[in-house]
Structure formats: structure tokens, C-alpha cells
């Protein structure tokens, strides 16, 4: 089965991009999960300072590198089984969904949180701790999980 997350970008500034993340279940109204924060849009990519293009991407769990080790230490092996990685983004690699509070924490990745104000995403760990098990369980259960990003 295919499971889908949908990110709707709604506010674009010179420093960041704010969005809404939904779990889009077929036959049901999309369920709001959390807010998102990303780097800003740039016509020409600047490494660690540019959001990924709108599109549809496959997600997987990645079990290597520094962020994985950091989250493994924070949450333990029973809970954390790999970082949520966004695959096949044209011109980008190593794009993750993770905790963080402002555009300095993104490096092109998508941050999640429960509150949003100008240039700040709050309660990031709480949002991640709610989102992660749903994505992890779907992937480990054999489902394909995709992320659709649209810019409003």
C-alpha cells in the first residue's frame, strides 16, 4: 500500500519557508500532523541554504551518519530505527526530516514542530516523536511512503 504525507508550503520569506504537514489517507480528510520549516527558495542552489523543489518523493529509513547516531543515542534502538530520508531529490542528497527550531538547523532538510512564529518552529521534539513512529511503522510494515510537496 502507498501511504502519503503532504507538505503544503504557505509562507515564503528571504530566510525560510513555513508549511503544514498532513497524513493524506485515501478516502479520508487529510489529518494535520504538524508545522514545518525549511530553508528559503533560491533560483540557484546554495548548499545548506536552499529548500528542495516541490514534487513527489519516496521516503526511507537511513541507518548511518551523524544524525542517525545522535537520534539513536537520544531515543534508543527500540524506538529509533533510522532517520527519515527524502530520496531522489534533483540536485540534492542527504535530505532528512528531523527536529530543529530555525533555518540554521535545516541544511536543506525539513524540520517539524507543533508551534510556529516568524523564523521559529517550537515544540519540535514533540512533533517529531508523534510523526516518526507513524512513518517508521509504515515503512517497516512494507508500505511505500511518499512525500508530496506543494507550494501555495
Helices (H), 14-141: 66-75, 124-140
**Cell numbers of 23, please?**
497524513
**Cell numbers of 90, please?**
534533483
| CA pair distance 72, 80, nearest whole angstrom | 6
CA 23 to chain centre: 12
Give the per-residue pLDDT at 27.
80
Give the per-residue pLDDT at 25.
77
pTM of the model: 0.96
Distances (CA, A) of 43 to 16, 40, 53, 94: 14, 10, 10, 20
Residue boundaries of the structural domains of the chain = 2-151
Give the per-residue pLDDT at 1.
87
What are residue 110's DSSP bridge partners?
A: 97
Binned average pLDDT, 10 residues per bin, the chain of 152 residues: 95 95 88 97 91 98 96 97 97 96 94 95 98 97 97 86
Give the per-residue pLDDT at 84.
98
Amino acid at each position: 500500500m502507498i501511504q502519503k504525507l503532504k507538505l503544503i508550503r504557505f509562507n515564503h520569506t528571504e530566510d525560510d519557508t513555513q508549511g503544514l504537514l498532513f497524513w493524506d489517507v485515501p478516502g479520508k480528510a487529510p489529518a494535520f500532523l504538524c508545522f514545518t520549516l525549511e530553508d528559503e527558495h533560491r533560483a540557484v542552489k546554495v548548499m545548506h541554504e536552499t529548500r528542495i523543489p516541490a514534487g513527489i518523493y519516496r521516503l526511507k529509513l537511513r541507518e548511518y551518519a551523524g544524525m542517525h547516531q545522535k537520534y539513536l543515542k537520544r531515543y534508543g534502538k527500540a524506538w529509533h530505527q533510522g532517520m527519515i530520508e527524502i530520496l531522489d531529490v534533483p540536485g540534492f542528497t542527504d535530505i532528512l526530516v528531523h527536529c530543529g527550531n530555525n533555518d540554521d538547523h535545516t541544511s536543506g532538510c525539513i524540520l517539524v514542530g507543533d508551534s510556529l512564529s516568524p523564523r521559529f518552529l517550537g515544540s519540535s521534539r514533540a512533533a517529531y516523536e508523534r510523526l516518526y513512529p507513524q512513518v517508521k511503522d509504515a515503512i517497516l510494515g512494507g508500505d511505500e511512503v511518499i512525500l508530496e510537496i506543494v507550494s501555495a
